[in-house]
Amino acid sequence: MTDALISSAYSQALEVIASVEPRIAAATRQELADQRGSLKLIASENYASPAVLLTMGTWLSDKYAEGTVGHRFYAGCQNVDTVETVAAEHARELFGAEYAYVQPHSGIDANLVAFWSILAHRVEAPALANLGAKNVNELTDADWETLRHELGNQRLLGMSLDAGGHLTHGFRPNISGKMFHQQQYGTDPETGLLDYDAVAAKAREFKPLILVAGYSAYPRRVNFAKMREIADEVGATLMVDMAHFAGLVAGKVFTGDEDPVPHAHVVTTTTHKSLRGPRGGMVLATEEYAPSVDRGCPMVLGGPLSHVMAAKAVALAEARQDSFRGYAQKVADNAQSLAEGFTSRGARLVTGGTDNHLVLLDVTSFGLTGRQAESALLDAGVVTNRNSIPADPNGAWYTSGIRLGTPALTTRGFGHDEFDRVAELIVHVLANTQPGTTKAGGPSKASYALGDGVAAKVKDASAELLDKHPLYPGLELS
């Protein structure tokens, strides 16, 4: 695809949008300018290719297609069947999965599909068989109430939020924490690393139906073979949420025991983040769980977004190219460079470093909360997100850390030297930020003061890096 063709496609699309609602066209243009002019270090963000982005803007959006391939609740879905078939085929081949379900709209939706599929397979199906019923509609009211009680009182064991888990892994304010009788495992208080013996002991004591592995802010690799051993010992289903590191799995950076697909019963993921596709979710499963997962719509999901499934197919096709393996390895290498850049300047990292795509920086050594650090960095054109650290004294809102990821800037072409410079700029901002005070005169967890001239200096230095690695090079909007 030529630069001229891409530029023409987007320019004309924005003209059409502007003819109806110019404010939306203007915001879209400004978003491109903002992304081009900032250091994007949010670990869950990336830059999708023009082909992926363009695929989402089509008339496939106009179709309702509840159900599955060849078994829809609406007529006229033959082209959607093609789209979903192609996307699932790419997903199976890319990850070596027995089954792939590409309908989930997001990572949370994918986890809900997984949870309810496991409940359907492990609890509902055996109960129906024992009662001689084909489906829940054949149950008496009394039997249905008994089954409903069982479905709502199963046990889930997941990684705690402050240890690096996700809120959908049993965090009480989330629906996952309300669906299940849940407990959580953490990390070693000294090292911040997973202690598999401690996880196993917790699982033996709690005996969960579902053991959830995976993370959103744990800067190390996980041994999924060990997690499967723990699950098997207590009769649990192993579910892995690889939303953050799916690109490293697809790119064969994580293999063997560190690849969750051969070891887990069910694997969920987003299709953006390190996988560099459209915003969406996906579920991979063994054949045993496939029939239950296939009921995701209408069990949990509304009508699938056909235009997004098409974009997933394009992104997964891109990820099957040899060049994606090189990209994935650079993501991991660049995370090492970023971590080394911090530690060499005296900054404190949770677990002391990284061996995946993200770094978790403890900002308490700068006398700041995560919220203060995030805000000060944003003033300087560095986009990050605040994040809890183990045993966080500031809780999940203010936090004591910031999470930084390398996928997006790696897509732009950043390498070792650039990430070392990024670490230098971040340390400079944080070292020159002072916490503010409340109206009562006490220490504030939110307000801050950034030293004079620091933001401008860092923005100028960032611009030098960004100009060498333009975002969507060749894309010029008329």
* Alpha-carbon span 266 to 275, nearest angstrom: 18
Q: Is the CB of residue 294 less than 8 Å from the CB of residue 277? A: no
Distance of CA 176 to the CA centre of its chain: 16
Q: Can you read off the two tokens belonging to residue 44?
A: 């869950």
CA nearest neighbour of 372 among 450, 262, 425, 447: 447
Cβ-based neighbours of 261, under 8 Å, separated by 6 or more: 95, 96, 97, 249, 267, 284
Helix H or strand E encompassing 433 = strand 433-437
Instruction: Determine the Cα–Cα distance for residues 241 and 118; give it in Å rounded to an integer.
Output: 14
Distance CA 262, CA 231 (A): 14
Question: Do strands 155-159 and 181-185 pair parallel, antiparallel, or not at all (unpaired)?
Answer: parallel
DSSP-assigned states of every residue in 150-218: HHTT-EEEEE-TTTT--GGGT-TTSHHHHHSEEEEE---TTT----HHHHHHHHHHH--SEEEEE-SS-
Contacts of 282 (CB under 8 A, 6+ apart): 91, 100, 101, 102, 104, 110, 268, 269, 270, 271, 312
User: 308: which residues sit within 8 A by CB, 6+ positions away?
Assistant: 56, 105, 278, 279, 280
Q: At residue 203, what are phi and psi to the nearest 5 degrees?
A: -65, -40
Classify the phi-psi angles of 289: left when phi > 0, otherwise alpha if psi is within -120 to 50, otherwise beta. Answer: alpha
- Looking at residue 135, the DSSP 8-state letter turns out to be S
Question: Largest alpha-carbon pair distance within the chain?
Answer: 75
Eight-class DSSP state of 443: E
Helix (H, G, I), strand (E, B) or coil at 74: coil
Catalytic residue set: 64, 66, 241, 270, 273, 279
